[in-house]
Amino acid sequence: MKVAVVGATGLVGTQILKVLEERNFPVTELIPVASPKSIGTEIKYKGKGFKVVSVEDAISMKPAIAIFSAGGSASLELAPKFAEVGTVVIDNSSAWRMDPTKKLIVPEVNADAITKEDKIIANPNCSTIQMVVVMNPLHKKYKIKRVVVSTYQSVTGTGKKAVDQLMDERKGIMDGPKAYAYQIDLNVIPHIDVFLENGYTKEEMKMIKETNKIMRDDSIKVTATTVRIPVVGGHSESVNIEFENEFDVEEVKALLAAEEGVILVDDVANLKYPMPLHSHNRDEVFVGRIRRDESQPKTLNLWVVADNLRKGAATNAVQIAEYLVSKKLV
């Protein structure tokens, strides 16, 4: 089982290697790939050193799986080249997500959509992943009509430069390199990705369109506001869900508590609710603050938290790879 990790030295690439090791994925040969300046440098995996190789060398080695975290333009150019030699590419960028010929997969929700013919599989947006993991059992039981989501997203979603900006500002260094147009420490920025003609950001439209594709139901109406907050590690979401059918709050809690990959943290009497501190370096999606929306019928409020670099990116990609192996699709 040759496995290439493309973008192995980046924030998400480093997490992918960590998750592969932690979950004991059956790697027989690891092929780390990064930008030309990193070729020849060594990365550690399971206590051994592996030299970073060029894309061309990696393709010639014909890995069974290539997990990409190298950005959209690199994926558009390179994923088809890996696919041509029979490699199954699992891509973390937005490059292939809305391509009607490519599957967009969250294993707990729609892994069964993958076939042996799928050579490029898209990993969804981090904020979409954690939301649909929680939505899926509720949609099956009560049928979702409409979702209103507001996100509170970690700076790690932007990358190392954003983390450095936040940490610099915390030290009083205000003239360091900037990932954002504004100060992020002691601030909240209601702007993730670029603004589009409709006034939404690209991140907001990703959540809307990706949710429909993953849930395989275009009838679900979604509206989103995505916000960057000064937190390192962990996205949070306030989610308001209107159902076709009536629900019982205690039954909702029981459904979510029983769901694979979900941890219910909902005991407000003892101040127990999900926070990014809980989710850091964890693979599960945490949910709590579950309560009825008293302003209209058949509507629920809940709070969803997950580590955006793990379940929101690396872990979800590795889970897709695990599914491919378990179903003998590679």
Side chain identity at residue 252, one-letter code: V
The alpha-helical segments, DSSP class H, found in the chain are 11-22, 55-60, 72-84, 107-110, 126-142, 160-170, 202-215, 249-257, 276-279, 315-326
- Of these residues, 139, 191, 235, 280, which one is catalytic? 235
| Cα torsion through 95, 127, 8, 17, rounded to 10 | -130
Amino acid letter at 62?
K
Q: Which two tokens stand for residue 127?
A: 């904020």
Residues making up the chain, counted from first to last = 330
Beta strands 235-243 and 144-152, pairing class: antiparallel
Q: Which of 126, 191, 278, 280 is catalytic?
A: 126
> What is the number of other CB atoms lying within 10 angstroms of the CB of residue 284?
20
- Strand 285-292 relative to strand 262-264, pairing: parallel
Cα–Cα nearest to 308, from 235, 236, 239, 204: 235
User: At a CB cut-off of 8 Å and minimum separation 6, what does 277 contact?
Assistant: 234
- Rounded CA gap, 133 and 135, in Å? 6
The whole-angstrom separation of Cα 177 and Cα 82 is 35
Distance in angstroms (rounded) separating the CA atoms of residues 9 and 252: 41
233: CB partners within 8 A, 6+ apart: 154, 156, 276, 279, 280, 281, 307, 308, 309
Instruction: Give catalytic status of residue 278 as yes or no.
Output: no
Task: Say how many CA atoms lie within 13 Å of 258 toward its Cβ.
Answer: 8
Residues designated catalytic: 126, 235
